[in-house]
């Protein structure tokens, strides 16, 4: 069985970004602004560096921390209502308050004098909800949307690790830390390239099913969810990658018919990864699929399976799982 106990840690690049007081050269703010940044189907103009930023969810918060933007933040939202902070993330957040355990209201953001909100569709905002770029604009709050989530409001290409790189690059531009963002992205690219260069080849892409949650119907990741990009980078194929959604409910029949060789468990919330594995093992309809018969499960923490600084580590874990019988 491939059952990796998830270790909550960053790559060396992330640890350096969080813990070292490195001074980066940058243009003066007077020279840098105003700037325009593409966010989903919008162009957002920034006349100055955000000074009271809020990020939603653990993965988006880790992007902000990886870029060393704590001094530009007034708080975080959308973490403790679903997830537990690991020690490294807790240390990175420091004294920043959690303004709301789940999605914030406009009043919460206004109460913190927020001038910038880093969120995504279904990562702190809902289509037609009370907190969106349109509802926050009159309040003077600029919004940058997580690239992966743009599929909820527009057409976009299949998900790619480049979505992560794009977000880090754009955040670097927004906060005038472009050199910092460039070094971070270049480090990720080199780390991934070097790792893939030494990977043992597979006879065929490993067929993978992503199990997030759900018993009557499984909640999984489709073509536009980050797990698809991670699986492909590791040498596999998401069996639901023909579904043009990021995260979606499907029927168990489609899982059984497609016979995954490995099941990736997304670990978060009240139901533990082991409880999810036990459920899958005891599901009468799944007992004959290769992943269950051969006990091939690999666990990714939520913060690894969603766009963020831990994606490269997730690719490495998946690659090992695909090459372990």
Residue 280: give its domain's CATH number. 3.40.50.1980
- Other Cβ atoms less than 10 A from the Cβ of 293: the count is 12
Measured CA to CA, the distance from residue 309 to residue 285 in angstroms comes to: 36
In a domain, 165, yes or no: yes
In a domain, 178, yes or no: yes
Query: Do residues 22 and 92 both lie within one domain?
Result: yes
Last residue of a domain, one of 147, 166, 190: 190
In a domain, 197, yes or no: no
pLDDT computed for residue 112 by the predictor? 98
Query: Do residues 177 and 256 both lie within one domain?
Result: no
Residues of the chain with pLDDT under 70: 1-27
pLDDT computed for residue 8 by the predictor? 41
Query: Do residues 177 and 35 both lie within one domain?
Result: yes
Q: What is the DSSP letter of 129?
A: S
pLDDT computed for residue 19 by the predictor? 45
Q: Helix, strand or coil for residue 273? A: helix
In a domain, 3, yes or no: no
Last residue of a domain, one of 160, 190, 220: 190
Q: Which domain holds residue 246?
A: 206-322
Query: Do residues 274 and 166 both lie within one domain?
Result: no
Q: What is the DSSP letter of 52?
A: S
In a domain, 196, yes or no: no
Last residue of a domain, one of 156, 190, 224: 190
pLDDT computed for residue 25 by the predictor? 42
Query: Do residues 171 and 64 both lie within one domain?
Result: yes
Query: Do residues 144 and 279 both lie within one domain?
Result: no
In a domain, 80, yes or no: yes
Nearest to 245 by CA among 287, 201, 212: 212
Query: Do residues 165 and 306 both lie within one domain?
Result: no
Q: What is the DSSP letter of 158?
A: P
Query: Do residues 164 and 23 both lie within one domain?
Result: yes
Query: Do residues 148 and 241 both lie within one domain?
Result: no
Nearest to 256 by CA among 288, 208, 222, 217: 288
Query: Do residues 178 and 211 both lie within one domain?
Result: no
Contact 249, 214 (CB under 8 A): yes
The total domain count for the chain is 2
Query: Do residues 132 and 213 both lie within one domain?
Result: no
Query: Do residues 179 and 215 both lie within one domain?
Result: no
């Amino acid at each position: 069985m491939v059952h990796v106990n998830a270790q909550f840690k960053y790559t060396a690049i992330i640890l350096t970004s969080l813990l070292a007081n490195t001074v980066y050269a940058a243009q003066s703010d007077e020279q840098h602004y105003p700037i325009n940044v593409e966010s989903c189907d919008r162009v957002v103009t920034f006349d100055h560096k955000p000074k009271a930023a809020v990020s939603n969810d653990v993965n988006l918060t880790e992007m902000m921390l990886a870029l060393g933007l704590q001094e530009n933040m007034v708080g975080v939202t959308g973490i403790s209502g679903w997830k537990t902070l690991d020690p490294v993330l807790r240390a990175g957040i420091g004294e920043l308050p959690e303004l709301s355990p789940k999605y914030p209201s406009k009043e919460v953001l206004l109460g913190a004098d927020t001038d910038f909100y880093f969120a995504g569709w279904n990562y702190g905002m809902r289509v037609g909800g009370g907190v969106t770029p349109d509802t926050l604009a009159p309040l003077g709050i600029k919004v940058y949307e997580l690239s992966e989530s743009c599929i909820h409001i527009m057409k976009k290409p299949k998900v790619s690790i480049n979505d992560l790189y794009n977000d880090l690059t754009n955040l670097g531009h927004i906060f005038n830390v472009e050199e910092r963002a460039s070094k971070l992205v270049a480090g990720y690219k080199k780390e991934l390239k070097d790792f893939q260069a030494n990977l043992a080849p597979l006879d065929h892409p490993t067929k993978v099913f992503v199990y997030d949650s759900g018993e009557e119907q499984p909640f999984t990741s489709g073509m536009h969810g980050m797990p698809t990009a991670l699986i492909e980078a590791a040498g596999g194929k998401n069996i639901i990658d023909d579904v043009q959604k990021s995260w979606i409910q499907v029927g168990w029949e489609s899982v059984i018919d497609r016979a995954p060789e490995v099941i990736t468990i997304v670990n978060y919330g009240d139901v533990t990864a082991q409880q999810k594995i036990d459920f899958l093992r005891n599901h009468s309809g799944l007992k004959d699929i290769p992943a269950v018969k051969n006990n091939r499960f690999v666990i990714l923490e939520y913060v690894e399976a969603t766009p963020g600084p831990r994606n490269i580590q997730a690719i490495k874990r998946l690659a090992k799982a695909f090459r372990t019988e």
